[in-house]
Structure 1
Amino acid sequence: MSAALLDWVPHSRPWFGHEEEQAVAAAVASLQVAAGPKVTQFEGLVAQGLGRRFGVAASSGSNALTALLLGLGVGPGDEVVIPAYVCTSLHHAVTLTGATPVEADAASDTPQLDLGAASAVLNENTRAVVLPHLFGLAVDWTPWASLNGRVGVIEDVAQAIGGRFFDGAPLGGRGRFAVASFYATKVMASGHGGMILGDDEGVLNRARSLIHNDRAPMDRTHLSARMNDLEAALGLIQWGRLPDFVARRRAIAARFDAIKFNSRLIPLPRGAGDLPFRYVVQAEHRAAADDLIAFLATQKVAAARPVERGHEIDAAWAARFPNAARWWATLVSIPCFPALDDEEQRRVILAVQRWCRR
């Protein structure tokens, strides 16, 4: 890394230490670097932690979702409901099955997927609804429970593993299935990697057969999307440290809460079980959000929109999804991750306060 970049407070950084180094070195020394016993152990621990019977590891969260949908028999002619306000990986995961992703608007009072909007686009072709716990903020599950019984909700805990529902149950344990991601910027990092969690052994076995392509029949779709033991070795250590990661994120977010915000900039509300994967603030309008990101860059603090679209937000899209368009335009994510040290936190606080005083 260049000296110039070392001066910056990054938007995200994994928290690795001596334990991770030892675990990866041991995996290399074992010569078992493809999928093996570490992956099996990792699957079991994550499934148990989320209150699930089974876990199936994959090479990424996106591939986990694609394999799950294929395991459910989703394909051409089917539809899968996804949020309009979400990263493009969900869209790509659905389209890889041949099915059509159908966007639904966010709520007006939270960037989470709106139940009414999702319900309005359901039809006889709908096979599933993907429900992310955006930024580690827990979705209120109670109103979603009936939809889960009708269609099947897939909880996306890519940004929320380790978080809790309002009653203390783990996020990822309530939907018909859940998918997780262990990418380098996520709550816990194995470099790349993802996982399907659920209780339906038949569906998960079909998903596993799609991920594991060895000796696959020529006439069947297979993904060749395994996690390997090097990634799982990292993941096992990170899983053991997850409670510390969660506590650290909450402590940093609590420190940021003391920033002297004003009407131009307000933090998104959090609940007791939420996991601040991102510390997200809302500016009064798009120009203010752009200005905040640019100003923080002059202070060498990396900030970003917490959701990036694969296309420009045009008038037609904004008219269809007005709440998603507003959240996209006004929300900004500032650095909040466990490896953020005290001095870096101080720099973030000072930079945001300077902007608020401008």
Structure 2
Amino acid sequence: MSKAIRLARPDVGEAELAAVADVLASGQLTMGPQVAAFESALASAVGTAHAVAVSSGTAAIHLALLALRVGPGDEVIVPAYTFPATANAVELCGARAVLVDVDPETFLVRPELVAEAVTARTRAVLAVHLFGRPVAWEELQTAVSQDVVLVEDAAGALGARYRETPCGALGLLACLSFHPRKIVTTGEGGAVTTDEAELAGAVRRLRHHGIASGQPMDISTPGFNYRLPDVLCALGIPQLERLESLLAARERVAGWYTERLAHLVGTPSVDEGDRHGWQAYVVGLDRRDDALAGLRAEGIETQIGTYAVHHLSAYRDRGSFPGADAAFERALALPFAGTMTEDEVDRVSAALARYA
């Protein structure tokens, strides 16, 4: 029987092992120097003045919205096709997630529909660069007034660029994830990036119980324990140092897939002048469920692209979204990692061709 092909595999090696070993040997597993070092490297990679490491991508969205003082009575626009964490974080602030439909080909929110969804209660738009493809940022900016804040859900877009600007530096704040399926991983983890010192400071306080730097004996606003420990930040530092080579490896694998599949299924692409972040390689086909079951039976791990949020019980009162429905029904995430071989891509592509 052929060896199983995993859905994803993080590209970690000796540098990461050594960095983690150094932290373990130091005995300073959290609240130490590696957090600041990781944040500095991340801010440099994204091109923002500040980066604040937190425990997950979900925590990053939650704290970014709280730093903006989003709360009860407010609305935040969210794509109807996205991982549920995007909408969940809004609701956890006490605000309402207003779903907006997506283009079923690009999987991205439609700016003209965002414009139609804005009300007097709209505080922000969570713009999701889904699977690493940058949102049409200028169109989105035009769609809303200046008092509506654009926040990037760039969980899968570290390394991606909209024109010449890195994803993570487009919005007033941006939220990143370092889950093992992301290009840079800390195992679990996330971060908020911004150029605004006041917002960065608010996120720092909120991730640490509400305790402000230099004021350990007082808490003005209750916060959370959303810290990212040193041992995980140490894992991420050598990953960030290799960001360009990690992305180049994923671009190579994506190119192999596209060569073999473009005439069979809908394959991912990017607008001219942009750079895809390649968090995942997600195709579209009519027989998605058959392909999902068939490839798994052959030892090839696959997964749905992501969720149509309005299909979830918590959000079934938010309306109908045909674009999200089409994306949800057709999208299939193929095994994807920078470490994949061309033979593995051949095997996945041949198996998928039977369902095209």
TM-score, scaled to structure 2: 0.91
The answer to whether the 8 Å contact 2:90/2:96 transfers is: yes
Q: 252-261 or 40-49: which moved more?
A: 252-261
Cα offset, 1:235, TM superposition: 0.7
Q: 207-216 or 231-240: which moved more?
A: 207-216
Gaps of 5+ in 1: none
Q: How does 1:272-291 map to 2 (within 5 A)?
A: 273-284=275-286, 288-291=287-290
The answer to whether the 8 Å contact 1:148/1:175 transfers is: no
The answer to whether the 8 Å contact 2:77/2:122 transfers is: yes
Does residue 85 in structure 1 map to residue 81 in structure 2?
Answer: yes
Cα offset, 1:262, TM superposition: 4.5
TM-score, scaled to structure 1: 0.90
Going from structure 1 to structure 2, the CA distance change for 1:299 and 1:62 (only over 3 Å counts) comes to: same
The answer to whether the 8 Å contact 1:189/1:234 transfers is: yes
Going from structure 1 to structure 2, the CA distance change for 1:329 and 1:260 (only over 3 Å counts) comes to: closer
1:203-261 deviations in Å (ceiling 9; x for gaps): 22112101012557577331110011011001101111111111011101111112155
Q: 1:267 aligns to what?
A: 267
The answer to whether the 8 Å contact 1:157/1:179 transfers is: yes
Q: 1:348 aligns to what?
A: 348
Residue aligned with 2:22, SS: helix
Q: 2:113 aligns to what?
A: 117
Paired with 2:255 and 2:38, the residues of 1 have a C-alpha distance of: 31
1:129-166 deviations in Å (ceiling 9; x for gaps): 0001111112222212333734111111111101111x
4+ runs deviating over 6 angstroms: 316-319
Does residue 225 in structure 1 map to residue 221 in structure 2?
Answer: no
The answer to whether the 8 Å contact 1:65/1:179 transfers is: yes
Paired with 1:290 and 1:318, the residues of 2 have a C-alpha distance of: 26
Going from structure 1 to structure 2, the CA distance change for 1:217 and 1:118 (only over 3 Å counts) comes to: farther
1:74-108 deviations in Å (ceiling 9; x for gaps): 11111111111001111221122111111111135
Q: 147-156 or 249-258: which moved more?
A: 147-156
Going from structure 1 to structure 2, the CA distance change for 1:217 and 1:88 (only over 3 Å counts) comes to: farther
Of the three residues 172, 178, 196, the one matched with 1:176 is 172
Going from structure 1 to structure 2, the CA distance change for 1:318 and 1:349 (only over 3 Å counts) comes to: farther
The answer to whether the 8 Å contact 2:176/2:191 transfers is: yes
Going from structure 1 to structure 2, the CA distance change for 1:259 and 1:342 (only over 3 Å counts) comes to: closer
Residue aligned with 1:20, SS: helix
Does residue 323 in structure 1 map to residue 319 in structure 2?
Answer: no
Q: 1:338 aligns to what?
A: 338
The answer to whether the 8 Å contact 1:261/1:353 transfers is: no
Going from structure 1 to structure 2, the CA distance change for 1:75 and 1:182 (only over 3 Å counts) comes to: same
Cα offset, 1:309, TM superposition: 4.9
Residue aligned with 1:266, SS: coil
Cα offset, 1:198, TM superposition: 0.5
Q: How does 1:9-48 map to 2 (within 5 A)?
A: 9-48=5-44
Q: 317-326 or 197-206: which moved more?
A: 317-326
Of the three residues 133, 136, 139, the one matched with 1:140 is 136
Q: 1:152 aligns to what?
A: 149
Q: 1:66 aligns to what?
A: 62
The answer to whether the 8 Å contact 1:216/1:222 transfers is: no
Give the aligned residue type for 1:153.
Answer: L
Cα offset, 1:317, TM superposition: 7.2
Residue aligned with 1:345, SS: helix
Paired with 1:61 and 1:261, the residues of 2 have a C-alpha distance of: 32
Q: 2:200 aligns to what?
A: 204
Does residue 295 in structure 1 map to residue 297 in structure 2?
Answer: no
Q: 337-346 or 49-58: which moved more?
A: 337-346
1:281-321 deviations in Å (ceiling 9; x for gaps): 1113xxx110111111122111111103567479x779621
Q: 1:253 aligns to what?
A: 254
1:314-336 deviations in Å (ceiling 9; x for gaps): 9x779621111111111111112
Cα offset, 1:122, TM superposition: 1.2
Residue aligned with 2:266, SS: strand
> What is the Cα-based RMSD across aligned positions, in Å?
2.2
Going from structure 1 to structure 2, the CA distance change for 1:149 and 1:341 (only over 3 Å counts) comes to: same
Q: 58-67 or 318-327: which moved more?
A: 318-327
Q: 2:304 aligns to what?
A: 305
Residue aligned with 1:338, SS: coil
